[in-house]
Amino acid sequence: MTQKTQNPLRLIDIPPTWLVAFLAIAWWQAHYHSYGLSFGGEWASFLGGLMVGGGILLMLMAALELRRHRTTIVPRQEPSSFVQSGIYRRSRNPIYLADVLILTGLILYWDAVLSLPLVPLFIWIIEKRFIEGEEKMLRRKFRAQYAAYSRKVRRWL
C-alpha cells in the first residue's frame, strides 16, 4: 500500500496564514512607510475596531454552526454535512468574509492607507486558492442541494 505524500507547503497554505501575511504587510507599511498619509481621524480607528470585532463575532458564529453540524472547518477537507443554517443563510463564506473584515478593520485602525489595495488582492487569492475548490467539492457531493443554495445565498454578502 502506498502512502499519499503531502506537500509540506500545503500545511501552511491555509487562509489564516494568508491573513497573517497580509496583516504583517499592512502593519509594516503603517509603521515604516506611511508617507504621512492618513484616513483622517478617530473615525477610522473606531470603524476599524468595529470591523475587527464584527469579523471575530462572524467567525465565531460560523465556526459554532459548523461544529453544531459536526462538519469540518478545515479548507480542502470534504465536509460531512451541508450547512445552510445560522449565518450560512446570509453568506456562503462567512469565515472568509470575517477575514476580510478583520484585514480591512486593522488597515483602518493602523492608518495603513497604502495597504488598502491588499483587501481586493486578499479576496482574489482566497477565491482562487480556496473558495472555488470548496464550491466544486460541495457541488460534486451535494449536487441539487448545493445548486439551490448557491442560487439563493451569495458567495460573500
pLDDT at site 4 = 53
pLDDT at site 6 = 67
Whether 36 contacts 72, CB under 8 Å:
no
* Cα separation, 113 vs 129, whole angstroms: 26
Q: 0.75 exceeded by the pTM?
A: yes
Q: So where are the chain's domains?
A: 40-152
pLDDT at site 1 = 44
The closest of 152, 2, 19, 23 to 98, measured between CA atoms, is 19
- Residues written for the chain: 157
Q: pLDDT under 70 in the chain at which residues?
A: 1-6
pLDDT at site 40 = 87
